[in-house]
């Protein structure tokens, strides 16, 4: 009986795979039939949204559970406690998004926990200058401490225009997390 049940589950998974559907849709009792990687399934465009993979977004609420897999049955690995934190979407599966944070940690969150607003998280060990013009010799407008979250307005060349704490100015891309090298971000 056990062997025939296993065979039936495997047969369903193979048939769904041949049809182009993920095996987890089979309602199989065995959890190991979930897709290996939503990122591998998605390629460079998400199969669910059609949006680019990877892409930057930000966390919507002040508390977001990072799960080990795409669903409520997967354990919570981490809880983010800051709205606006930039994260990178690296995979999609149904209403779930696989994300990577500024430290390289990955996991799954529900799509409603994310927003398209672009933000930046200041990195490093020391404060970073926000300057008046996209020039290393420009006068500083403010110093942003590591961990500060800023709104990412636009980028050109090696500089991006940020707003944080009532101050706006330019900062070099390598001073924060939330934008790809060479990525053009427009208003």
Q: Examine the domain organization and report whether 173 and 124 are in the same domain.
A: yes
DSSP state, residue 182? T
Residues 38-60 as b or e (16 or more Cβ within 10 Å = b): bbebbeeebbbeeeebbbbbbbb
Is 183 inside any structural domain? no
DSSP state, residue 133? S
Is 66 inside any structural domain? yes
Alpha carbon separation from 144 to 29, 105, 121, 130 (Å, rounded): 51, 24, 10, 7
CATH number of domain containing 164 = 2.30.30.40
Is 89 inside any structural domain? yes
The residue range of the domain holding 70 is 35-117
What is the tens place of the pLDDT at every residue in 108-164?
Answer: 999 999 999 999 999 999 999 999 999 999 999 999 999 999 999 999 899 999 999
Q: How far apart are CA 67 and CA 74, in angstroms?
A: 6
Q: Examine the domain organization and report whether 46 and 24 are in the same domain.
A: no
What is the tens place of the pLDDT at every residue in 84-102?
Answer: 999 999 999 999 999 999 9
Is 149 inside any structural domain? yes
Is 186 inside any structural domain? no
Q: Which of 117, 147, 162 corresponds to the end of one domain?
A: 117
What is the tens place of the pLDDT at every residue in 25-56?
Answer: 333 333 333 344 433 444 467 788 999 999 99
Q: Examine the domain organization and report whether 55 and 94 are in the same domain.
A: yes
Is 65 inside any structural domain? yes
- pLDDT of 14 strictly over 50: no
pLDDT for the residue 102: 96
- pLDDT of 72 strictly over 50: yes
Output the average pLDDT for the chain.
83
Rounded percentage of the chain residues whose pLDDT exceeds 70: 76
Q: Examine the domain organization and report whether 108 and 39 are in the same domain.
A: yes
Q: Examine the domain organization and report whether 40 and 92 are in the same domain.
A: yes
Q: Examine the domain organization and report whether 28 and 61 are in the same domain.
A: no
Q: Examine the domain organization and report whether 93 and 139 are in the same domain.
A: no
Q: Examine the domain organization and report whether 149 and 111 are in the same domain.
A: no
**Band of the pLDDT at 186, cuts 50, 70, 90?**
confident
Closest CA to 110 of 101, 91, 99, 97: 97
pLDDT for the residue 41: 42
Closest CA to 165 of 151, 147, 175, 179: 151
Q: Examine the domain organization and report whether 41 and 113 are in the same domain.
A: yes
Q: Examine the domain organization and report whether 132 and 163 are in the same domain.
A: yes
**Into how many domains does the chain fold?**
3
Q: How far apart are CA 9 and CA 13, in angstroms?
A: 6
- For residue 136, the Cα-to-chain-centroid distance in whole angstroms is 30
Is 29 inside any structural domain? yes
State mean pLDDT over 157-173. Answer: 97
What is the tens place of the pLDDT at every residue in 138-153?
Answer: 999 999 999 999 999 9
Q: Examine the domain organization and report whether 85 and 130 are in the same domain.
A: no
pLDDT for the residue 145: 98
């Amino acid at each position: 009986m056990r062997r025939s049940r296993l065979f039936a589950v495997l047969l369903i998974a193979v048939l769904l795979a041949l049809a182009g559907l993920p095996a987890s849709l089979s309602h199989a009792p065995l959890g190991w039939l979930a897709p290996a990687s939503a990122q591998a399934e998605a390629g460079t465009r998400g199969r669910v949204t059609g949006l680019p993979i990877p892409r930057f977004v930000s966390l919507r609420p002040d508390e977001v559970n990072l799960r080990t897999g795409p669903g409520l049955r997967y354990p919570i690995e981490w809880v983010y406690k800051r709205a606006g934190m930039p994260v990178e979407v690296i995979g999609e599966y149904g209403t779930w998004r696989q994300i990577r944070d500024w430290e390289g940690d990955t996991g799954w969150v529900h799509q409603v926990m994310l927003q398209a607003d672009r933000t930046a998280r200041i990195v490093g060990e020391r404060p970073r200058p926000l300057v008046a013009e996209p020039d290393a010799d420009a006068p500083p407008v403010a110093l942003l401490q590591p961990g500060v979250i800023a709104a990412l307005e636009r980028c050109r060349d090696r500089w991006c225009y940020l707003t944080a704490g009532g101050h706006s100015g330019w900062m070099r891309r390598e001073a924060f997390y939330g934008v790809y090298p060479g990525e053009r971000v427009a208003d």
